[in-house]
Structure 1
């Protein structure tokens, strides 16, 4: 049983506040934020208590989504409710950020009124809620077919000549059709997160991949959707199949709405998609990487004259030549006494800064073409520099995004809708790999 639901910005601003039972004070919002900010570390506990009031929260879109309760409610149920509330907000408002919540506060209050009655959860289904929600979403930027700022992120192998608008997959699911140009669209994302540890000798020590297939549907009606995966897709080593290159994962789980009667034989997923976003399939591959790691680092650390530390980094991108890594960040820990930084970078679009609070150098590369090699020379002023200070350098951590790439090799063979949609309908497929944890020891 939920007493209150509120949404806070990262600075503690009250964006949404809904009291369902009147049994908790409104200052509970301030109490929660004081408790969160008083804790050390980036990830405070999901469940916290103050006197007889329990707080359960999740962090999504840079916001705190919080529920309070005075009863012994199941934390897992409340967490699932908060995640669904965030997902529904994204579906109905188009994006999940502080600005969209502020602009659509009336819509979010209407969602809460329909989802919860006197603290009891009624429904979180998009299909049911769309029959009752009347408020239109307010978007800060209208949908435009001519906005091509993210050219190349979308498009299946058979649709390379097409480019999906950058705002197409982030518009509200409930909006006037005249504003959207009458477009019936469905987006399928194959998203993978890569965790890698590379030793100082360049040997791959650990490699884990977690992936999922997500669908966001803007179709008014669709009785069935069929998604064909690689015919060589196998789960575990005992199921290796086909004559082509095997695409293997260790574990795989499916949404309860997915029908698997054709999966074992033809590797086809069948589902009746509802409007909004759904995760159809999740999979994991542990301690193995079918392809080479996307980046290779060649570091040199040495003591210069006086109190200067020299760090020379040569970074190579081992992606195919036509591929590009985006938003590459390289973080290099430096000795605690570091005061200033001067750098020599191999191209003008790169930037570097010394973060005194974190005692690390942040090297940023907006675009990194496959097969290219970049370098950086960092000169760090460290008072009382000693040989022991050299041991404080590293390990190096990286974050990046690899559009049109999957580490496992999972591909969508086809995407078919039944019955055939009236008028013009678009089907978009995107492949993207994010770094979850990419560590290179020096």
Structure 2
């Protein structure tokens, strides 16, 4: 949250009425939002949260994290990565990284960066649309933006310093990491019903600007068919003026 309010007024924020924290011993309405756990900034007064799913708080100046939550139930991952590794001969191989976007077509992901470390056994790695950072020994694929429901592919040619067998070469390639941001997209379906100033002064007209998006999500894909996900929360930012 970002607050530019003067006078430190108290605010009230309301989340989904059907929000459930933890499934144990609780009934979940079909289509309801389920979070494993949730915690709040120290400025939050959460006495009414269990009954009304509302929070009262006096925001500090500037930007701060109001809510942290964790989701481990099934949801649709916004990106799928399909690496294909083929040993052409004992000294050369081809790696094709295919990316499929599994979020709605009306959304666009920006700032997409795909990285792949360069193993020490590799003499060269070449391909179009990529950067090769020799200092950090990484292949970097910068994608300006990509729409939902689309696919991209990146072929990379690899030359090894010594003779390689298919299994041994495959084990040292990877993991593939990916960072991105998707404005106006939220995998958890957590929504803000309203944000209000509890006791607005006369002539005081706050302006609410809401930006919802998924960002700083890191995907790790090991070529040995192991997929690891590390999620940060879906960021919902509010500005009051």
For normalisation by structure 2, the TM-score amounts to 0.80
How far did residue 264 of structure 1 move?
1.4
How far did residue 289 of structure 1 move?
4.1
Q: Tell me, yes or no, if the aligned pair for 2:85 and 2:94 is still in contact at 8 Å.
A: yes
Return the alpha-carbon distance in structure 1 between the equivalents of residues 96 and 41 of structure 2.
Answer: 47
Q: Flag the 1:374–1:257 CA change in 2: closer, same or farther, 3 A.
A: same
- Count of paired positions: 220
Q: Tell me, yes or no, if the aligned pair for 2:106 and 2:148 is still in contact at 8 Å.
A: yes
Find the counterpart in structure 1 of residue 214 from structure 2: 433
Which of 173, 180, 194 is 1:393 aligned to?
173
CA-based RMSD of the aligned residues comes to: 2.3
Listed as ranges, the matches of 1:167-206 within 5 Å are none
Find the counterpart in structure 2 of residue 186 from structure 1: none
Q: Tell me, yes or no, if the aligned pair for 2:181 and 2:217 is still in contact at 8 Å.
A: no
Q: Flag the 1:311–1:439 CA change in 2: closer, same or farther, 3 A.
A: same
Listed as ranges, the matches of 1:288-437 within 5 Å are 288-305=72-89, 307-344=91-128, 351-387=129-165, 388-420=168-200, 422=203, 424-437=205-218
Return the alpha-carbon distance in structure 1 between the equivalents of residues 83 and 6 of structure 2.
Answer: 54
How far did residue 437 of structure 1 move?
3.6
Q: Tell me, yes or no, if the aligned pair for 1:308 and 1:379 is still in contact at 8 Å.
A: yes
Identify which range, 395-404 or 367-376, moves more after superposition.
395-404
How far did residue 222 of structure 1 move?
4.9
Q: Tell me, yes or no, if the aligned pair for 1:338 and 1:359 is still in contact at 8 Å.
A: no
Q: Flag the 1:335–1:307 CA change in 2: closer, same or farther, 3 A.
A: same
Q: Flag the 1:274–1:377 CA change in 2: closer, same or farther, 3 A.
A: closer
Q: List, as ranges, runs of 4+ consecutive aligned residues in structure 1 with deviation greater than 4 Å.
A: 239-242
Return the alpha-carbon distance in structure 1 between the equivalents of residues 24 and 189 of structure 2.
Answer: 18
Return the alpha-carbon distance in structure 2 between the equivalents of residues 418 and 343 of structure 1.
Answer: 57
Q: Which has the higher contact order (CA 8 A, sep 6+)?
A: 2
Deviation digits for residues 69-110 of structure 1, max 9, x if unmatched? Answer: xxxxxxxxxxxxxxxxxxxxxxxxxxxxxxxxxxxxxxxxxx
Q: Larger helix proportion, structure 1 or 2?
A: 1
Where structure 2 has 5 or more consecutive residues not aligned to the other structure, the ranges are 224-241
Which structure has the bigger radius of gyration?
1
Does residue 26 of structure 2 align to residue 248 of structure 1?
no
Q: Tell me, yes or no, if the aligned pair for 1:340 and 1:354 is still in contact at 8 Å.
A: no
How far did residue 341 of structure 1 move?
3.2
Does residue 29 of structure 2 align to residue 225 of structure 1?
no
How far did residue 413 of structure 1 move?
0.8
Return the alpha-carbon distance in structure 2 between the equivalents of residues 364 and 413 of structure 1.
Answer: 36
Return the alpha-carbon distance in structure 2 between the equivalents of residues 276 and 361 of structure 1.
Answer: 37
Where structure 1 has 5 or more consecutive residues not aligned to the other structure, the ranges are 1-214, 345-350
How far did residue 407 of structure 1 move?
2.5
Return the alpha-carbon distance in structure 1 between the equivalents of residues 196 and 25 of structure 2.
Answer: 26
3-state SS in 1 of match to 2:24: helix
How far did residue 253 of structure 1 move?
1.9
Return the alpha-carbon distance in structure 1 between the equivalents of residues 52 and 95 of structure 2.
Answer: 53
How far did residue 417 of structure 1 move?
1.3
Q: Larger strand proportion, structure 1 or 2?
A: 2
Return the alpha-carbon distance in structure 2 between the equivalents of residues 394 and 277 of structure 1.
Answer: 36
How far did residue 360 of structure 1 move?
3.2
Q: Flag the 1:403–1:380 CA change in 2: closer, same or farther, 3 A.
A: same
Deviation digits for residues 101-137 of structure 1, max 9, x if unmatched? Answer: xxxxxxxxxxxxxxxxxxxxxxxxxxxxxxxxxxxxx
